[in-house]
A and B are shown apart, each in its own frame.
Chain A
Amino acid sequence: ADEVTLQLKWVTQAQFAGYYVALDKGFYEEEGLDVTIKPGGPDIAPVQVLLGGGADVMVDWLPSALAAREKGAPIVNIAQPFASSGLMLTCLKEHGITSPEDFPGHTLGTWFFGNEIPLYTWMGKLGIPTDGSEGGVTIQKINFNVDPLLQKQVECATTMTYNEYWQVIDAGLTPDDLVVFKYEDEGISTLEDGLYTTEDKLADPAEVDKLARFVKASMKGWKYAEENPDEAADIVLENDETGAQTEKHQRRMMGEIAKLTAGSNGALDPAAYERTVGIVMDGGVITKEPEGAWTHAVTDKALN
């Protein structure tokens, strides 16, 4: 069988259920693939792993992939299982923030590592300075959890609909205590988890064929997961080597993830791509229109 290694952007969780389902249900095997899934983490830049030869395909967000491409990394989007964005900013109501106009003078926490790009873009659009000057917001780099919000070190924090938001709820707060701003609703959503590979792989027809089979099986996994969320969550749990995930949390996460993958057959939506590029360029993260950052070559092959 052909070997394929997939580098995830984050630790094993329902966010990546489709791949684990495809593996567990033998979808990859059916396509003649031997797939290895490498979990990620806060200190892993999947691009480095990809370029270093440690993986054939990686999961990444489009903004950071574009930034990497402009830095000279020859990476290309070959599929986009996530149709919509799960990114949002969550504030405690008690701080008196009800709309984006209320941000000035407050402290916003965000993850960095590429995840700050949408926030900076948004602030830029709102015309709110982030450099600590008068009438601006203070931005803090926070670790990948919601403690700073709960402990009031920040007043708003970046969260995902499927993960951190529920951690806030689990901590004992009710949706009434919170104000959330979904990037999707603010019209500044960017494309999240997509599949990427390198240019030279795409130049080789044999590789393209292999990738097509991979994407095909993965999408089959995603659709299976959407239909059987609880089973998918259990498969994820089985594959979690840290033994740290809980069933309750993963099942709920799978439910939210299903909303984001719904409506994608795996092929990148060029309109959503253009929107993302626009937002990222407005944010100043990239300076020139990217070229060849995506292809339908693989999905065309996979979906027919």
Chain B
Amino acid sequence: MGWIVAGFAAWAVGWWANALLARLPKSRATGLAVPVIFGLTVIVMWECFVRGLDVSSVILPPPSAIAARFAASTGILWEDFVQTVVKGALTGYVLGCGAAVLMAIAVDRFPFLQRGLLPVGNFVAALPIIGMAPILVMWFGFDWQSKAAVVVVMVFFPMLVNTVQGLQSSDRMQRDLMRTYASSYWQTLFKLRLPAAMPFIFNGLKIATTLALIGAIVAEFFGSPVRGMGFRISTSVGQLALDLVWAEIVVAAIVGSAFYGGVALLEKAVTFWHPSQRGRA
């Protein structure tokens, strides 16, 4: 009972602190503090409720147990991180996003492709990842190459849709201006359409960061060498080592947020001119 009361108390305190902080003028410190407090509140509540309701640790371990396991397994976690994130996810992300942008440009350039390839491409890209993953593992082997392939397939569609939409987003007058310069296709592309498409492209890039991570992890469920975050998660669930599962999930969350944050920073630098960024320095 005490634990549960403590849980609600933590929630009240966290909310109060954030409401207070949010009223302060916006700065780097408050921008960081608010989400951190939010997160801490969630964690404290989690701990309190797991203890208070006496939840079995094979169903949901308390954060303290996860933290202890995390600290004890940094070696394994690092090895898995390198295998899954650096080799699998990043490679796939770069290849997949790159391919999608190129494809979007091609689709945008040739009406023939736009009418032919886009529907078919949409169809192919809609093949569900869960079904594709075993097949790709079969084709590309157990190591990180197949994980990268899964990521490529996964990030391709969101990237394509966003980029195609972005390339069509420059306004009438801006395009007319380029026409009067008899600007070549490529010049218009690089000087007008791509810059104007950037807000959309970054939309895609941001969504793709998390997809890349999920894709690389999930693909390991379908066959892998004996390391990798997905491998560890799937095998540890079988062994009911849920604290290790959650430690891996924490790594995934941290890496994913950092990845997303990095792309968001880049976005801020590149699309500073867009109304959604302006005035929110």
Please list the residues of chain A having a beta carbon within 8 angstroms of any beta carbon in chain B.
42-43, 45, 47-48, 51-52, 64, 67-68, 71-73, 112-116, 139-143, 147-148, 151, 153, 285
Contact = CB atoms under 8 A, between A and B. Distances in A.
Contact of B223 (A45, A73, A143, A285): A143
Nearest to B58: A73
Contacts of A148: 142, 223
Contacts of A141: 142, 220, 223-226, 231, 234-235
A41 B258 CA distance: 34
A87 B138 CA distance: 24
B184 interface: no
Main secondary structure of the interface of B (DSSP, over half): mixed
Contacts of B255: none
Interface in B34-79: 56-59
Nearest to A115: B238
Interface bracket on B: 20 to 34
A68 B221 CA distance: 21
B238 A73 contact: no
Contact of B58 (A42, A71, A143): A71
A51 B231 contact: no
Q: Most chain-B CB neighbours within 10 Å: which of A42, A141, A148? A: A141
Q: Which 6 A-B pairs have the closest CB atoms?
A: A113-B238, A112-B235, A114-B238, A71-B240, A73-B58, A68-B240
Contact of A51 (B56, B222, B225, B226): B56
Contacts of A153: 141-142, 223
A48 B59 CA distance: 6
A49 to B, nearest CB: 10
Nearest to A148: B223
B276 interface: no
Nearest to A151: B138
B58 A47 contact: yes
B238 A45 contact: yes
Chain A binding surface, main DSSP class? loop
B238 A140 contact: no
B112 to A, nearest CB: 38
Given A140-B224, A140-B226, A45 B134 contact: no
Nearest to A107: B142
A42 B222 CA distance: 10
Interface in B218-265: 220-226, 231, 234-235, 237-241
Contact of B225 (A52, A71, A140, A143): A140
A67 B222 contact: no
18 contacts: A42-B221, A43-B237, A45-B237, A45-B240, A47-B58, A51-B58, A64-B238, A71-B239, A72-B58, A73-B240, A116-B235, A139-B226, A140-B224, A141-B231, A141-B234, A143-B223, A153-B142, A153-B223
Contact of A68 (B58, B137, B225, B231): B58
Of the candidates B57, B58, B234, B241, the one having the most CB atoms from chain A within 10 angstroms of its own CB is: B58
A114 B239 contact: yes
Contact of B240 (A47, A115, A151): A47
Contact of A142 (B56, B223, B241): B223
A83 B196 CA distance: 70
Contacts of A143: 134, 137, 222-223
B56 A73 contact: yes
Contact of A113 (B56, B141, B223, B234): B234
A139 B235 CA distance: 14
B241 A71 contact: yes
